[in-house]
Amino acid sequence: MDEGKGYRLSGRNMEEKIIKGFIDVNWKLCTGCRLCEQACSLYHEGKIWPEASRIFILQFDPGPIEIPILCHQCSDHPCIEACPVKPEKAISINKKTGAVVIEQDKCLGIKCGRCAKACHHETAIRFHPETNKAINCDLCDGLPECAWICPSGALSFLPGQTFDGSHYAKRPEKIASDLAYQLFPANKLETDKRRDV
């Protein structure tokens, strides 16, 4: 994504020092307000466009509880491996930020969709509602807007790469059922059923 296309609500600019790192998600704290989606789409699309956001909130029962989904920058990169574009793959690692980025010009789009299927998270790569090209979290070129705006503390930017992001990258259903198990200990009826998901 070209720098300067959208708005940074945080007012930060690229002169700030970029540190490699990733976005930490504390699912328990997410209120489902979707400010992250909105800040994300403002930076990437130049307008509020929840459906074109790189981070997105899914809602699950019981609760309901909301789970933010985004690319966790796994080190084994199954998405890059799956990309069939030749000679140079459409997905690569940005050297400056360490983020997985998808080159929109090269991407074959939703008809291919192999990267999305390969994802450990299964949902972190989605498709742009207008162009149908694959989109994912590119850490806003190193200064993630979602982590800046999140008012509840569910999202924060963790500088440095202490451990592999793939530890986060579970199926959303699994995250939701684990969270429900933790949050609603008495909720035998629903959570026990869902533990097997």
Partner 1 sequence: MSGYMGKILDVDLSRNSYKILDLDMDMAKRFIGGRGLGAYLLWERLPAHADPLDKDAPLMFLLGPISGLLPGGAQLCTFFKSPETGVTLCHSIVGSHFGVELKSAGFDGIIITGKAEKPVYLKIFDHDISFEDASHLWGKSTFNTEKILKKELNNHRVKMLSIGIAGENGVRFAGIQHDYYHSAARGGSGCLMGSKNLKAIVVKGSKGFDVAEPEEFYKVYNKIFEMLKRARTEERRGYYLVRWGSSAGSMWHSDVSELDVKNYREAHWEDIDKISGFEFERKSKVKNRGCYLCPFSCMQLGVIRDGKHAGRTATPDFDSTSTIGAGCLVTDHDGLIYLNSLGDELGIDNISLGNVTSFTMECYERGIITKDDLGGIDLTWGNVEAMEALWNLIVQRKGIGEILSLGVKKAAETFGKGAEHFAMHCKGLEFGAYATQAKHERGLQFAVGDRGGCHHYGLTIKEQNHRVMADSLLVCTWHRHFITPDIYMDALNAATGFNFAHSDWDLLAERFLILARAYNLREGIRPLKDDILPLRVHNDPLTSGPQKGAVYPIEKFKKDRENWYKIRVTNLINRFKN
Residues near partner 1, by CB under 8 A: 7, 9, 11, 28-29, 31-35, 38, 41-42, 45-52, 56-66, 129, 149, 151-152, 172, 183-190
Question: Cβ 42 to partner 1, closest distance in Å?
Answer: 7
Question: Cβ 159 to partner 1, closest distance in Å?
Answer: 22
Nearest CA to 24 out of 179, 146, 110, 178 is that of 146
Instruction: Report the residue number, 96 or 117, with the smaller CB distance to partner 1.
Output: 117
Residues 177 and 175: their CA atoms lie apart, in Å, by 6
β partners of residue 135? 126
Question: Cβ 41 to partner 1, closest distance in Å?
Answer: 7
Contact 85, 62 (CB under 8 A): no
135 phi/psi in degrees, rounded to 5: -130, 150
CB atoms within 10 A of CB 138: 20
Instruction: Report the residue number, 30 or 91, with the smaller CB distance to partner 1.
Output: 30
Instruction: Report the residue number, 15 or 186, with the smaller CB distance to partner 1.
Output: 186
Question: Cβ 11 to partner 1, closest distance in Å?
Answer: 8
